[in-house]
Structure 1
Amino acid sequence: MRGLGAWGLAAAALAACGGSSEPSPPNVIVIVADTLRSDHLSTYGYDVATSPRLDALAARATVYETARSTAPWTLPSHASLFTGLLPLQHGAHTVAIERPGSNARGLDERAVTLAEVLGEAGYRTFGVAANGAFLKPKYGLAQGFDEWTVREEPAGQLEAQVFEFLAQPGDGPFLLFLNYMDTHRPYNSVERPGLLPRPVGRRSAQLLRDLYGPVLTGTEPRDSERLRQLIDQYDTSIANLDEALGRLFDELERLELFDDAVLVFTSDHGEYFGEHDLIEHSKDVYEPALRVPLIFKAPGQRVPARIADPISIAHVPALIFEQLGDALRATARERAPALLLGPVEAGARLVVAENYLSRSKDLFDERFGARFQRVRRVLYADGLKLIRSSDGDHELYDVRADPAEARDLYGDFARYEDVFGDTLESIVTAWPRLGAEGGAVQESAGDLERLGALGYY
């Protein structure tokens, strides 16, 4: 059994002196719906009732209306969620390779994660991940978890294991992390009568294969019927996930674990459906891949709130630690200050995103590979979005007035330069980083085949 840790030792010392200790820290539950863009949730105003159980959660929680990921794909975004660091700092992102294959580097073991700090303070830490590609332990995201399971199954089939953990008695609070893949290719599109006025149609994997070349090259007329079918598949997968989330929430209520817990629901990135001649994700830094839901329930929260200010998933650890005791915050401050802050400069929270090249299957496709041979960095400020690109193809958008990013304002950048100053450049040159070096995590032939099935290879 793990020792008492910082919080436990402080509480024990106070008790021995006859003083009152801080209340027991709350359980922490972090749920990531892989590949879920916020604008397809009814919680965020979508006109299809995809998420009634998340709507009910939002009615007693805080909804961040303008949340963004730090990257348009799983590995770097989860690493940011767990560490409060940007991809350039934690180093878990794609790297250049000379031939088709795996091109993703894992999280450096020197990184300090949310699970590590909570575990050292006496939390039981339990993770269940459905993403069998980049949430395997060898990519480093299991750091700090007592138990970490990867099962490539829909949310409904993961319930038994999750419910078993919740029902176990245990000393001290717990951290529960759940990653669900229902909204990732191949979408969990088991039909739901009454959700859509038409049949779901062909399976998502085949639709994506049909659309991939035409969308990315932009050389053929857009197949609007196939895109509509694909979106219907996606919306159905959201509703299926939402139903499973409802059962989880009900079980937490039944076990009297819901009210007093910190509960976070978010996503690691979104999905493209033809916008900017893109399909799926991991390829670029436009809004369909970066805008994600973020719903945060504090212990005992009953009154809903909506916050319009931009926020990053790298700020989620800081939101969590705001709900924990002084002793835990002091431990985090000593071990990993980013967990209390996330990306911050001059006292203000920064929302930054990055993409280091794309996935192997894109880079080595002669039809469009050159398009993705670049590093792209994004900074949001005052409703504006600046994209700096290693190939010189910089862009600037007023994402409040132009959420579709249809009008590139970069030619008039001098007019807006004072909004951004040298912030993005200073992040790249001056911010501390782990200095991770080396190549990609090596994958077996079988693993590469699985990556292909998920659209990465």
Structure 2
Amino acid sequence: MGWFGRSKKPQDPRPPLPRRSPAGLGPRPDPQGENHLIVITLDSLRWDSLMAAESKVIPKLGKVEKRYSYASWTAPSHYNLLTGLLPHSSPQHVYASEYYKEDFFQYNTRLAAKGIDFGAMVPGLWFPEFLQGKLGYQTHARVSLPVLNPKTAINRGFDSYNLMDSHNDMRAMLSTLTFDSDR
């Protein structure tokens, strides 16, 4: 799995989507933070293979780090990602809970927002709902693997969640992406 993500406000000529309340969480707040967040996962991609490919594009998306997935297959790996926990760097002599809290705090920088900490996720522990309910984000998912289909529980907290027609077709996803003009 990989993590990449920030872009500054693109100009979008389309009118913004109406703000709706995230599933029972009350009215959505005005957008906070100035960065959009884009998560791209490359399922089953090994670090050594990525580095051997010497991609000129991937490093432009953000810092490339060697990280380890929480699970060895797709569905549980993505469930962990959607709790806000990025794949970990497996530091030695550090309690996992301390590492998670510190890594989660980095969302303040990633999103150019303030006051984000792991405690703010309690009790839901679901990152898409946190982004909606606390930071006013619109959340959308485009997936190409059937085990992540909209009928599974992983779709919780998204304004839209779509299983694409074709597996492994990133290009088909790009034309469906939109960005919140308020951010």
Q: Normalising to structure 2: TM-score of the pair?
A: 0.56
Alignment of 1:131-210 (within 5 A): 131-132=145-146, 134-151=147-164, 152-153=166-167, 154-162=169-177, 165-166=178-179, 170=180, 172-173=182-183
Q: Which has the larger radius of gyration?
A: 1
Structure 1 residue runs of 4 or more that deviate by more than 6 Å after TM superposition = none
What amino acid sits opposite 2:154 in the alignment?
Answer: L
Structure 2 residue aligned with 1:28, among 33, 37, 43? 37
Structure 1 residue aligned with 2:57, among 30, 53, 61? 53
**Deviation at residue 145 of structure 1 after TM alignment:** 0.2
Secondary structure at the aligned position of 1:72 is classed as coil
Secondary structure at the aligned position of 1:62 is classed as coil
**Deviation at residue 55 of structure 1 after TM alignment:** 3.4
Secondary structure at the aligned position of 2:157 is classed as coil
Number of matched pairs: 120
**Deviation at residue 111 of structure 1 after TM alignment:** 5.1
- Cα distance in 2 for residues equivalent to 1:62 and 1:160: 25
Residues 1:75 and 1:111: Cα distance change in structure 2 (over 3 Å): farther
Match of 1:83 in 2: 83
List gaps (5 residues or longer) in structure 1: 12-22, 86-109, 174-457
**RMSD over aligned Cα, in angstroms?**
2.5
**Deviation at residue 38 of structure 1 after TM alignment:** 1.2
- Cα distance in 2 for residues equivalent to 1:135 and 1:52: 29
Secondary structure at the aligned position of 2:57 is classed as helix
Cα deviation, 1:158-202, whole Å, max 9, x if unaligned, reads 22212xx24xxx4544xxxxxxxxxxxxxxxxxxxxxxxxxxxxx
Match of 2:49 in 1: 40
Secondary structure at the aligned position of 1:76 is classed as helix
Alignment of 1:341-352 (within 5 A): none
- Cα distance in 2 for residues equivalent to 1:120 and 1:56: 30
**Deviation at residue 117 of structure 1 after TM alignment:** 0.9
Alignment of 1:355-434 (within 5 A): none
- Structure richer in strand, relative to its length: 1
- Cα distance in 2 for residues equivalent to 1:78 and 1:111: 16
- Cα distance in 2 for residues equivalent to 1:81 and 1:68: 12
What amino acid sits opposite 2:142 in the alignment?
Answer: V
